[in-house]
Structure 1
C-alpha cells in the first residue's frame, strides 16, 4: 500500500511504477501503482504510443491506471500488457477495478485502451526486445527483461526466489526468475522484508534484502536496485538495512537503494 509522511520522504511512499525509455523514443511503463502519477509527468512531449507492462493485478500495481491521462487521450495509443489467466481476459479482470463502485469511469469508456494477455515468451516494443516469464508470487505473475543494443534491464518487483530457504539451489536453473535475470546490467528486485519478517511470511511472494542480493550475485548482475520496500519501513530503517548490505558487499555487485525519482542510464 502507498504511504506518505515524514518517515518516507527520501525513499518515497508510492506503489510500484517504473518508466523505461528506448533509444528510438519508445516509452514502456512497468506496473501502474500510485507512482504512475509522477511517471506521467516525465513522458516526453509528443509521445504517441505508451506501453504499460503489468507484472500482476494486485491492487498496489494497478491503482494508478484510472488516473493515467493518456488512457483518455485519443492522441496517444496506450497498450496494457499483463499475465494471461484461465479465469478471464486481461481487459475483463482490469474492468473489475475500473468500474463502479470502485472507480467512477469504466475501462471500456477509456478511448485509448488496447489490452494484451501475455504468455511467457518474447515480443518487441519499438526497438526494445521484451521477454516475459512467470515468477514465484501468488496469482499469475510475470517478470520482465527489456533489452536493447546488448544491454538488459530486468524487473522483478514481487518475487520470492528462495521460497522458504535462505540459500538458493546450487543449480540456478531451478531458481525462479533465473532465465530473466541472468547477466542483467540493471536488476530491479523485490527486497521487502528483514530476515525476521520473512520467517513469518514465507510464501507471501516477497524477498529479504539478503535473499535479493544472493539472487543478484548468482545471476551475475552488474547493478541491483532494491525495490518494493515494506510500507512499514521508515527511511531510517532502510538506510540501516542498506548500510549493512554495503558492509557485507563483495565489491563486485553494485547495490543501489531504490528511491522515488531515481534515474539510471544503461
Structure 2
C-alpha cells in the first residue's frame, strides 16, 4: 500500500515511516504541508497520514481538500495528532477521516491502528459475563468471574462500553496497559442494579484529565442517570464522589427509541425486568449487535407471558449478527426464579431462532453456577437449536474473549 505522511516534526515522521515500511508499505513523505496536496495529487496514494498542527496548512484543511477532490475519492486520510480533544476527533471523523490516532504513538499498536482504518471492523470484547455477583476462585476459571461489561471498538476510533459491572475494572487495567488510560467513550447502562453500575467508580480512565465520557441510560421515576450514578458514590457508601473525576463526564437520559451516537445508529428497547431496563441495538455499515440484558421471557403457559412483548422484542433483534442476551438459568432452575427478571435456556433459544439471529451469545450467568453448569447451559442451547433445525449459532463467551465483526 502506498502511504503519504505529512508531519512537520521530523522525528515523528521518521518513526512512522520506519514502522510502516517495516510492515511492507511504500512510503512518501513531506515535512511541508503547503506543497503536500500537489504531491498527493501526483502520486495518488492509498492513504494520507497527516498531523493537524502545522504551519502553512493544518491537517484539517488538508483533509477537506482531499475529500473535495474527486480524483482522490478512494484515498483514505488518517489524522495523527497530539490533540486528544474529543471535539477534534469528532470534527475529523465528520469531515471524512478514516481514523484518528493520538500522539505520542505507541510503536506496538500503531500498525494495527492504521490497518483498522482500512478494515472497517468492529471488535466486540467481553470483560465480564456473570450476573448479580462476581464469582471468584476455581469455580470460574474457564469463563471468568466478573459481572456485566462488553465493549465495541470501531475502526474509526469510536468506543462503546455496555454496563459497568466488575468487568469494567478488567477493561480499565487493559486500557492502562495498552494506551495509558487515554480514552474517549460512550458508556451505555442497561439499568442501575448493582451488578451493572457498581464498578464504575473503579474505572481509572474517568480520573484522567483529557479523557471524555458520556454515560447513557434510562432515568427511573424522575431520578436521572446522573443522579443514579452519583448516589452510589455518596460519601455514606464510597470514599470519593464524582467531583474527583478528572475527565469530562456527561450524562444523557434515554427512553425507548432511536438515537445517533458518535454517528452510529443506536436503538433502545424497554425490557421485561423490574424498573426501567434498556436493551440496545447498534447498527453499523451492514452489521448489527444487540445487547439485551436483563430480560425475562416468561414461559408460554405462564399468566405473565405476553405474546405482544415477545413479538416486539423479536422485531428489535431480528436478523442481528450478534445477540448478547440474558440466559441466567437452566430450564430446571427457572421454576423457583419466576418473576426475578431473568430467562432460561429454552425461551432464549426459541426467541433467537424465531428472530433469525445469526450468533447467540449466552450472558449473565447465575452466581451459583460454576463453569460446568455454564458448559451444560451451552450444550442444552446447542442441542435445542439443532432440534429446531436453526441456522443460529450459539456461543458461550469467556472473559476477555474478542470477536471481530
TM-score category (smaller protein) = over 0.9
The root-mean-square deviation of aligned C-alpha atoms, in Å, is 2.2
- Whose helix fraction is larger, Structure 1's or Structure 2's? 2
**Offset at 1:30?**
0.2
Flag the 1:245–1:86 CA change in 2: closer, same or farther, 3 A: closer
Runs of 4+ in 1 over 3 A off after TM superposition: 41-44, 166-176
> Who is 1:155 aligned against?
291
Residue 101 (structure 1) aligned to one of 236, 240, 259: 236
- What secondary structure, in the 3-state scheme, does the structure 2 residue paired with 1:71 have? helix
Larger Rg over CA atoms: 2
CA distance in 2, matches of 1:22, 1:128: 10
**More displaced, 194-203 or 254-263?**
194-203
Residue 28 (structure 1) aligned to one of 160, 166, 169: 160
Q: Is the 8 A contact 1:164 1:203 kept in 2?
A: no
Aligned: 1:208 with 2:365: no
Q: Kindly tell me the number of residue pairs found equivalent between the two proteins.
A: 265
Residue 118 (structure 1) aligned to one of 254, 257, 265: 254
Residue 165 (structure 1) aligned to one of 300, 313, 316: 300
Q: Structure 2: which 5+ runs fail to align? A: 1-132
Residue 265 (structure 2) aligned to one of 118, 129, 136: 129
Q: Is the 8 A contact 1:127 1:148 kept in 2?
A: no
Q: Is the 8 A contact 1:22 1:128 kept in 2?
A: no
**Offset at 1:242?**
1.4
- What secondary structure, in the 3-state scheme, does the structure 2 residue paired with 1:196 have? coil
> Who is 1:252 aligned against?
391
- What secondary structure, in the 3-state scheme, does the structure 2 residue paired with 1:238 have? helix
TM-score, normalisation: structure 2: 0.62
CA distance in 2, matches of 1:201, 1:234: 18
CA distance in 2, matches of 1:173, 1:240: 28
Q: Is the 8 A contact 1:137 1:206 kept in 2?
A: yes
CA distance in 1, matches of 2:147, 2:253: 23
TM-score, normalisation: structure 1: 0.92
**Offset at 1:171?**
6.4
How does 1:71-86 map onto structure 2 within 5 Å?
71-86=206-221
Q: Structure 1: which 5+ runs fail to align? A: none
**Offset at 1:104?**
1.0
* Greater RCO (Cα-Cα under 8 Å, separation 6 or more): 1
